[in-house]
Amino acid sequence: MRKRIGGKAIKTSIVLAATCLLLSGCSFLRPQEKRADAQLVPTLGNNARGMVTFIEHSDGVQVTYNLTGLPPNSDHALQVHERGDCNSADGSGAGAIFAPAAERLKIGARVEGDLGNIHADAAGVAAGFIVAPDVSLDGVRSVMQRAVLLHRDASDPYAYPQHGAGPAIACGLIRP
């Protein structure tokens, strides 16, 4: 034997469902943020390690880093390189710094993959964020499946081509 549900019960159920959706903020209707992470591991003979997170926003990609094992009170370049290969002992498998618009480079222009310099405190910890307006998490300027390297020295944004950041002390693959 079937029971019929009255119109009032159906209306009440719809109102309850709508209220629930409104109170939850309709998060399923919002676009999901594009995000990627890279777990940095030390290259041979180094101790630097940590996490770098990439979150795409309208003004660029926010690159948040939390790194340990760095020399105290030191500056380092954080760079995205062409290939997602951290298998070599020195990070050289990652190739050159990521520069999808290399033909536009002029002296004093920053290469897209040069995210910036970071500073380690007296305990050898570097934590903070950088906004990288020239990269993305999809398309031609995507850093996905590339390697992010932490270099021994700071980079010089006015050098052409950009070199001088020293060898890599940590490397990680950027993954969704």
| Domain assignment present for 25 | no
Are 77 and 151 in contact by the 8 Å Cβ rule? The answer is: yes
* Number of domains present in the structure of the chain: 1
| Domain assignment present for 23 | no
Q: What is the pLDDT of residue 100?
A: 85
Chain-centroid distance of CA 174 in Å reads 7
Identify the domain containing residue 126 by its residue range. 35-173
Residue-wise over 39-63: b if at least 16 C-beta within 10 A, else e?
bbebbeebebbbebbbebeeeebbb
What is the residue-level pLDDT of the chain in tens, covering all 176 positions? Answer: 555 555 665 666 566 555 555 555 555 555 678 999 999 999 999 999 999 999 999 999 999 999 999 999 999 999 999 999 999 999 999 999 998 876 556 666 678 899 999 999 999 999 999 999 999 999 999 999 999 999 999 987 666 555 568 999 999 999 99
The model carries a pTM of: 0.79
What CATH number is attached to the domain comprising 147? Answer: 2.60.40.200
In the sheet that holds 49-57, the strands lie side by side as 114-119, 75-81, 147-151, 168-173, 35-42, 49-57, 60-68, 126-132
